[in-house]
Chains A and B, each alone.
Chain A
């Protein structure tokens, strides 16, 4: 188990190789190094997974401690990892999906001048993300947390000569900083309360010392959630994610869909014990998650940029994951995280394939009818869309339905209705995308129409693998069957304590009947199908209809199109206010006080210098005279004493 360090070490080695010598290596070598590093990491992860399965469920926790990172008085932090089923799931997703996206990138980025830099960043990102999920204490987790934030900044602004890209990078960095501030406060508060940052020690102490509803734990969990909101793009800090689409498309797939943004969900699930002790925080998590899910879905309805629609759908799906965690269905949340990683990576890679084929075009109004020219992309994209919409038997169905059902049985009726409505919206906007891109008449620019080509093999293969995963990925957790919930059983030891706390004292810990479950599953599917049907009627059967609807509800349409003017609001309230403050401080503190002192010091010495320099005459005899005078003074002083 001590070999767990190898998992992040491989990508790091790839980063060092490509970062330092990438310019001298050929493109093929760079790709081999990057993909090879990820393949080795994935293989190591599989090996560890196999070892983990050979232990009995209650012994599937390893905590390799590598060295004492820092020890200051009572405060000591180890560089330690924590390997349990939850970590294992995350590591497999990160390395597996990451590996596929690396392969895809070799095709997608083939003509980019910053090829080696791109793969160096990508490997560094994988390293940071793996440190994050493997971390055995909050500080190591924070290292990974900041690492992915940095890589996100670097990769969003990868085409830094483009103004919008570098702006988007900065935006992501700054918005994340707000969340990180909360996270950091949470770390301080945790240490102050428990005297340790080690996960297992914290949870152990928390179970012993605190009753549910305790104020300190509530504060810690809320602050942790602030961090999660920033990293996982929830209301109100989601604004960076849609802009992050300025980066290369595989980056969007890897970072802004499959892995990094799930860090918040992972962290909440990791701290499930603390959240279970703070019902208020759970409520906040669930409410924010649900609100985000619906809010982002409504914006996604009208966006015209293919990647932007997917970005809002990511925000929305992350909301579902938080909803799951918030209602205590951690397994469902992690399950959705996993399936989402598959189909959202696939969606982004498919979108990348379309953009690649059209020579950089991202506006769906200038697409259409691409089914025949891009068959592989179409079928895989369709599979992913069915998965995200929640159609049996695709992966998204099982995970999303589990979240919805758990929301209902834990007694959150309102949230259930909202989330169900969100699911309908999801189905609608996803198929709007599918129909406008692949079906109907072609609106492709005639210039580029005859350049349209199917993706090369290096891009097509990952698409197909992910399509298969989007189909079968949900079968590890099938409801209503005997022995169906394999993932749940695998993860059970991790969430045992939290679930014990949550079901304690509540009567409805028992299961709803199979019949009820079946009814609500059918309802989910019906809602999703309704969304797809509506999309078909609007965008295929009667293509003029959307415009008429938009004209009729023009005000609502404009609000949605402009994303509820949230960016403008932040600009007006937060940015302008801070700017004003900075200007005031600049005027009065910097200019009037500090500059005066500094300039004054400079002026003093300059004036002193202009006068004193006359002492240095350049005549040696003057210096000799000064020596003699000094000696006389010393003698006189000696005589006087």
Chain B
């Protein structure tokens, strides 16, 4: 049986990739994808701990995270569509009206 730490390392790596993506990519859709990566990293940890602690609550939690993520993606994509309609771009470095 693969130990808990194996899964945690995979989860950590996924999270690092997600954070890096959010910081380095300029395309809003890709940034949204990277956020999904981070959420999935958390999910993986949940499931791994669920098995380790022999408690199904972790999996139920993952279920809710998925619901929230689905809602978040739809709203996020709708915002991106609206952004594109107004600015003709979804590159976040070109959308910077709120600057001092």
Contacts and interface: CB of A to CB of B under 8 A. Distances in A.
Direct contact of A and B (CB under 8 A): yes
Interface of A: 612-621, 624-625, 628
B100 A624 contact: no
B39 interface: no
A618 B23 CA distance: 14
A615 B100 CA distance: 8
Max chain B C-beta neighbours (<10 A), residue from A613, A616, A621: A621
A616 to B, nearest CB: 4
Given A618-B98, A621-B26, 14 more contacts: A612-B100, A614-B100, A615-B100, A616-B98, A616-B99, A616-B100, A617-B99, A618-B96, A618-B97, A619-B96, A619-B99, A620-B92, A621-B23, A621-B93
A619 B19 contact: no
A619 B100 contact: no
Interface string B72-100: 00000000000000000000110011111
A628 B100 contact: no
Contacts, number: 30
Contacts of A628: 19, 23
A613 B100 contact: yes
A614 B100 CA distance: 6
Interface of B: 19, 22-23, 26, 92-93, 96-100
A619 B23 contact: no
29 contacts: A612-B100, A613-B100, A614-B100, A615-B100, A616-B98, A616-B99, A616-B100, A617-B96, A617-B99, A617-B100, A618-B96, A618-B97, A618-B98, A618-B99, A618-B100, A619-B92, A619-B93, A619-B96, A619-B99, A620-B92, A621-B23, A621-B26, A621-B92, A621-B93, A624-B22, A624-B23, A625-B23, A628-B19, A628-B23
A621 B96 CA distance: 11
Nearest to A614: B100
Nearest to B98: A618
Contacts of B99: 616-619
A98 B98 CA distance: 68
Contacts of A624: 22-23
Contacts of B26: 621
A476 to B, nearest CB: 83
A569 B22 CA distance: 82
Nearest to A612: B100
Nearest to A610: B100
Nearest to A631: B19
A358 B98 CA distance: 73
Nearest to A623: B98
Contacts of A613: 100
B12 to A, nearest CB: 13
Nearest to B97: A618
A532 B92 CA distance: 101
B30 to A, nearest CB: 12
A620 B34 CA distance: 15
A615 B98 CA distance: 11
Contacts of B96: 617-619
Contacts of A615: 100
Contacts of B92: 619-621
B83 to A, nearest CB: 12
A181 B96 CA distance: 62
Max chain B C-beta neighbours (<10 A), residue from A612, A616, A619, A625: A619
A614 B26 CA distance: 21
Max chain A C-beta neighbours (<10 A), residue from B26, B92, B96, B100: B100
Contacts of A616: 98-100
B27 to A, nearest CB: 11
A615 B22 CA distance: 19
A612 B100 CA distance: 8
B97 A621 contact: no
Contacts of A619: 92-93, 96, 99
